Amino acid sequence: MKGIRSIEVYYHDLLVGEIFDGINETLFHYNADFLRTKIDLSPLSMVKRESPYLFDDPDFSLVAPLFSDSLPDGYGSVVMNRWFERENGPLYRPTAIDKLTYVGETGLGALIYRPGQSYPVEKLQQFDLREQERLASSNIAQTAEEWIHRLRRAARTAGGRFPKALLAIDWATGLFYEDHPSVGLEKERWVLKFGSLSEQRKSLNNYPNIEYAYHQMAKASGIRVPEARLIPSTHSSEVISHFASRRFDLKCGKRIHLATLSALTGITPGSENLTYRNLFEVAHQLSGSLQEVKEVFRRMVFNVLSCNADDHGKNHSFLFDGRKWELSPAYDLTFSDEGGLNHLPQHSMSIAGVIKNISAKNLLQEGTLAGLTNVQCKVLYEEVAEPLSRSRDYLHAAHLPEKTVEWVARKIDFAMKESHFSH
Ligand SMILES: Nc1ncnc2c1ncn2[C@@H]1O[C@H](COP(=O)(O)OP(=O)(O)OP(=O)(O)O)[C@@H](O)[C@H]1O
Ligand SMILES: [Mg+2]
């Protein structure tokens, strides 16, 4: 793959356009036939036009934000870089095109990059969860060479900081498989986020269990979430859990286009320029539906009341099924463990200009600006607050130790007190 200078982007069988490598930049131009279709994959930040686009922002890996969504980040990019070193020598630094070639057909969502790298089908095998989680938690720099391709295949290109794998699961037999087109569609596709052994955890990070409790609370508060399960595995004396959620970018085996808020706005995930206002606007513009505005309001309130401050631009996404846009189910909802008991975390996107100690007034201001009435905001707020006021029940049900339950629940209680809606 070394030295490839351009790559084609496909949406299903449609050629979307071509990306060319430059020095510290890439060029993208839409295919003339694609310009004539009604399909728009990034209607706000990459309007369809004949003239080429130039991308040189390192925060988006020098490619269009939409394509940078396809690239792994955090854990997956460490695996990817190790792979390139193994293939091309220790000093090799992959170009933007190399990285997209690595993604090939294996990314989340519906975009495909050609030529891509093919997987040797004969090596496809059942997925050994214990072996894989051991690898995922090992120091990658010290991982034996022969494991790199295995890690690569499991990590694939799912984004996010933490170790995860894309799997095909046969619930009838309880067997897991590496995800691959040759694994039949009767096996469901899931994303699995690995838990870690207690000795590897730095703080209270029993995060798969916490994420599961949060998932359940979000569901109870009316937020759309994917199907999720906690998957236990036993290591000598300890049982650890992994958080698994069913892939929402696949429907009956068909890939659905997925784009993050960051990609759609062209604003980097950690930037202070990206706010809940943008999320409301994009949801409304793309879907044209008040239901989606209400869904954003629920998610915003949930994140504030539950101390989920990791609400950056890659933790909000949209799905496009070829006809209409909608918010993807909510994901990566979890507790931000920051500061003492009476300290609330700093959110990644501001709400009415505020990122910390968000008040009911701030929430109301944002909601009404988005077109909701005071009464609608209050009703939605109450629906979200109800399960969160019973957070201890959910945290216990996720098998968390008492100390963790109390710590998380007290912080939620405090956050709810701080942004309480008066009647
Ligand atoms: N059920 C799902 N179906 C499809 N894609 C998913 C699903 N869950 C997560 N993803 C995708 O995988 C990416 C990583 O997941 P997630 O955000 O949960 O991981 P993370 O490592 O905790 O991320 P972060 O770096 O934000 O902490 C998400 O940005 C999203 O695009
Ligand atoms: Mg995330």
pLDDT in tens, 122-166: 444 556 666 666 666 655 555 555 555 566 666 666 767 777 888
- pLDDT at position 218 is 98
Task: Give the mean model confidence (pLDDT) for residues 176-192.
Answer: 81
Given this model, what pLDDT does residue 139 score?
Answer: 57
- The reported pLDDT for the residue numbered 79 is 81
Q: CA geometry: angle at 287 spanning 285 and 288, to 5°?
A: 65
- Report yes or no: 80 and 72 within 8 Å, Cβ to Cβ: yes
Q: Is residue 332 within 6 Å of ligand 1 at its C-beta? A: yes
pLDDT range class, residue 121, cuts 50, 70, 90 = very low
Share of the chain above pLDDT 90, in %: 64
Count the neighbouring beta carbons within 10 Å of the beta carbon of residue 144: 8
Ligand 1 center to 406 CA (angstroms)? 27
pLDDT (mean) for 6-16: 96
Which of 23-37, 66-80, 144-158, 159-173 has maximum average pLDDT? 23-37
Measure CA 81 to chain center. 20
Say what the pLDDT of residue 166 is. 84
Assess whether the C-beta atom of 318 lies below 6 angstroms from ligand 1.
no
Q: What is the pLDDT of residue 86?
A: 82
- pLDDT, tens digit (0-9, with 9 covering 90-100), for 402-413: 999 999 999 999
Q: Determine the atom of ligand 1 nearest the C-alpha atom of 247.
A: 3
Residue 329 pLDDT more than 80? Answer: yes
Higher pLDDT, 201 or 392: 392
Query: CB of 366 within 8 A of CB of 277?
Result: yes
Name which residue leads in pLDDT, 4 or 367.
367
pLDDT tens string 371-385: 999 999 999 999 999
pLDDT of residue 117 exceeding 90, the answer is: no
Pull the structure tokens for residue 192.
Answer: 């699995």
- Helices (H), ranges, 207-289: 207-220, 261-265, 276-287
Q: For residues 54 and 123, is the Cβ–Cβ distance under 8 A?
A: no
Residue nearest atom 2 in ligand 1 by C-alpha distance: 247
pLDDT for position 124 = 44
The pLDDT of 302-312, averaged and rounded, is 97
Partners of 245 in the β-ladder? 191, 228
- Average model confidence (pLDDT) across the chain: 88
Question: Letter for the amino acid at 20?
Answer: F
Q: What is the pLDDT of residues 270-302, one digit of tens each?
A: 899 999 999 999 999 999 999 999 999 999 999
For 12, the 3-state DSSP assignment is coil
Q: Is 317 in the pocket of ligand 1 (CB under 6 A)?
A: yes
Confidence label for 83 from pLDDT (cuts 50, 70 and 90): confident
As given in the structure block, the two tokens for residue 126 are: 């059942």
CA dist 262 → 270, 352, 377 (Å)? 9, 19, 26
Which has the higher per-residue pLDDT, 173 or 43? 43
**Host H or E run for residue 114:** strand 111-114
DSSP element (H, E) containing 6:
strand 6-11
Element holding 154 (H helix, E strand): helix 145-155
On whether the CB atoms of residues 415 and 304 are closer than 8 A, the answer is yes
In angstroms, rounded to a whole number, what is the distance separating the alpha carbons of residues 158 and 107? 7
The DSSP call for residue 339 is S
Give me the pLDDT at residue 171, please: 82
CA 235 to chain centre: 28
Closest CA to ligand 1's atom 19: 160
Reply yes or no on whether the pLDDT at 115 is more than 90: no
Neighbours of 321 (CB within 10 A): 12
DSSP reduced 3-state for 7? strand
Q: What is the pLDDT of residue 122?
A: 40
Rounded percentage of the chain residues whose pLDDT exceeds 70 = 86
pLDDT bracket for residue 206 (50, 70, 90): confident
Query: What value does the mean pLDDT take over residues 236-243?
Result: 78
Q: Which domains does the chain have, with CATH numbers?
A: 6-137 (no CATH), 140-246 (no CATH), 255-418 (1.10.1070)
Report the pLDDT averaged over residues 167-192: 81
Q: Is the pLDDT of residue 388 over 70?
A: yes
Q: Identify the CA nearest to 162 among candidates 200, 186, 136, 130.
A: 136
Omega within 30 of 0 (cis) for the link into 115: yes
The whole model's pTM is what? 0.93
Residue range 50-54: mean pLDDT, rounded: 97
> Ligand 1 mean position to 389 CA, how many Å?
26
User: Which residue puts its alpha carbon closest to atom 8 of ligand 1?
Assistant: 331
Length of the chain: 423
- Residue 167: per-residue pLDDT: 84
Residues sharing a CB contact under 8 Å with residue 156, sequence separation 6 or more, in sequence order: 72, 76, 106, 107, 165, 166, 179
User: Which three-class secondary structure state does DSSP give residue 305?
Assistant: helix
Closest to 166 measured CA to CA, from 103, 94, 257, 112: 103
Alpha helices in 269-359 (DSSP H): 276-287, 290-305
Ligand 1 atom closest to Cα of 260?
Answer: 31
Judge if the beta carbon of residue 249 lies within 6 A of ligand 1.
yes
The predicted pLDDT at position 184 comes to 78
Distance 317 CA to ligand 1 centre (A): 10
Q: What is the pLDDT of residue 248?
A: 97
267: pLDDT strictly greater than 90: yes
Q: Which of 265, 301, 285, 278 is nearest to 386 (CA)?
A: 301
Quote the CA–CA distance of 29 and 21 in Å, as a whole number.
12
